[in-house]
Structure 1
Amino acid sequence: MRILNICAYTWAIGGPARIIYDHTTEVVRQGHQVDILSPMTPGEKMYPVPEGARLIACARTTPLSNIYREFSIEMYQYLKKHIHEYDVIHMHGIWHFGSLAPFLIPNKAVKVITIHGLLDKWAVAHSKWKKQIVTVLYQKRLLGRADLIQINNTDEEEDVIRYLGYRPKNMVIVPNGMKLSEYENLPAKGVFRAKHGISSSQQMVLFMGRLNIKKGLDLLLPAFQKVHERLPDAILVLAGPDDGYQAETEDFIKKNNLGSRIKLVGMLTDTHKKEALADADLFVLPSYSEGFSIAVLEAMTSKVTALVSDRVGFGDYIKRYDAAYLTPLTSDGVAAGLLKILQDKSYALELSNRAYKMVTENFDIRVVANQLLEEYKKVKKI
Structure 2
Amino acid sequence: MRLLHVISGLDPQIGGTSQALRTVIKGLAEHSVMNEVVCLDDPQATYLQELTFPIYALGPARTPWQYAPRFLPWLNSQLAEYDAVLVHGLWHFHTHAVYQVWRSLKTGRPALYVMPHGMLDPWFQQVAGRRLKALRNWFFWKATERNIINHTDGVLFTSETEKKLAKLPFKPYAPRSENVVGLGVETPPAFTAAMGEAFREKCPGLPDGFLLFLSRLHVKKGVDLLVKAYRRLKKEGVKLPKLVVAGPGLDTPFGQRVVQLAGGDNDIRFPGMLSGDAKWGAFYQSAAFVLPSHQENFGIAVVEALACGKPVLISDQVNIWWEIERAGAGLIGPDSEEGIYTSLKQWTTLTASQKAQMAQQAVGAFENHFTVLRASEKIVTVLNRNKSVVTTN
TM-score (norm: length of structure 1): 0.89
* Contact kept? 1:59, 1:74, Cα under 8 Å: yes
Match of 2:47 among 45, 48, 56: 45
Hey, what does 1:250 align to over in structure 2? 256
Aligned equivalents of 2:50 and 2:299: distance in 1? 19
Tell whether the 8 Å contact from 1:11 to 1:47 is kept in structure 2 after alignment: no
Contact 2:114–2:148 (Cα < 8 Å) also in 1:
no
Amino acid at match of 1:187: T
Distance 2:354 2:151 in 1: 48
Cα deviation digits, residues 313-352 of structure 1 (max 9, x gap)? 2123123212211021221220221232244233322222
Given the alignment, which residue of 83, 90, 94 partners 2:90? 94
Tell whether the 8 Å contact from 2:146 to 2:173 is kept in structure 1 after alignment: no
**1:275 Cα deviation after fit:** 1.3
Letter in 1 for 2:264: L
1:379 corresponds in structure 2 to 386
Structure 1 stretches of 4+ with a deviation exceeding 4 A read 41-44
Conserved 8 A contact 1:190-1:200: no
* Residues 149, 214 of structure 1: alpha-carbon distance in 2 compared, 3 angstrom cutoff: same
- CA 1:61–1:253 in structure 2 vs 1: closer, same or farther (change >3 Å)? closer
SS at match of 2:232: helix
1:298-309 correspondence to structure 2 within 5 Å: 298-309=304-315
Q: Which amino acid letter does the alignment assign opposite residue 207 of structure 2?
A: S
Shift of 1:124: 2.8
| Alignment counterpart, residue 82 of structure 1, candidates 59, 78, 84 | 78
- Structure 1: tracts of 5 or more residues without a match: none
Gaps of 5+ in 2: none
CA change 1:238–1:39 in 2 (3 A) is: farther
CA RMSD, aligned part only? 2.4
Aligned position for 2:364: 357
Separation in structure 2 between the aligned mates of residue 47 and residue 306 of structure 1, nearest angstrom:
33
Aligned to 2:115: 114
Identity, in percent, stands at 22
| Secondary structure at 2:367 match in 1 | helix
Counterpart position of 1:204? 210
Q: Deviations over 1:26-72 (max 9, x none)?
A: 3223322111112225656348424xx2122221333x2xx21x322
**Cα contact 2:35–2:54 (8 A) shared by 1:** yes
Measured in 1, the distance between the counterparts of 2:372 and 2:262 equals 43
TM superposition shift of 1:236: 2.1
Cα distance, 1:267 vs structure 2: 1.8
Aligned to 1:58: 58
Determine whether 1:219 maps to 2:220.
no
SS of 1:284's equivalent in the other structure is strand
Following TM superposition, by how much is the alpha carbon of 1:75 offset from its aligned partner in structure 2, in angstroms?
A: 2.6
In structure 1, how many angstroms separate the alpha carbons of the residues matched to 2:184 and 2:374?
Answer: 8
Asked if the contact 2:191–2:284 (Cα under 8 Å) also holds between the matched residues in 1, the reply is: yes
Q: TM-score w.r.t. structure 2 length?
A: 0.87
Aligned partner letter, 2:229: A
Q: Deviations over 1:202-258 (max 9, x none)?
A: x42211111111111231121121233335673322222129x84234234336523
1:101 and 1:332 mapped to 2: Cα distance? 44
> How far does residue 4 in structure 1 lie from its aligned partner after superposition?
0.8
Aligned counterparts, 1:243-322, within 5 A: 246-254=252-260, 257-322=263-328
CA contact (8 A) 2:157 2:181 kept: yes
Counterparts of 1:324 and 1:255, CA distance in 2: 26
SS at match of 2:175: coil
Q: Distance in 1 between matches of 2:25 and 2:254?
A: 37
Matched-pair contact (CA < 8 Å) for 1:187–1:278:
no
Cα deviation, residue 10, structure 1:
2.2
Match of 2:160 in 1: 154
Task: Tell me the residue number matched to 1:132.
Answer: 138
| Deviations, residues 163-195 of structure 1 (Å, cap 9, x unaligned) | 345553411111111222xx1502337422354
Bigger Cα displacement from structure 2, 14-23 vs 147-156: 14-23
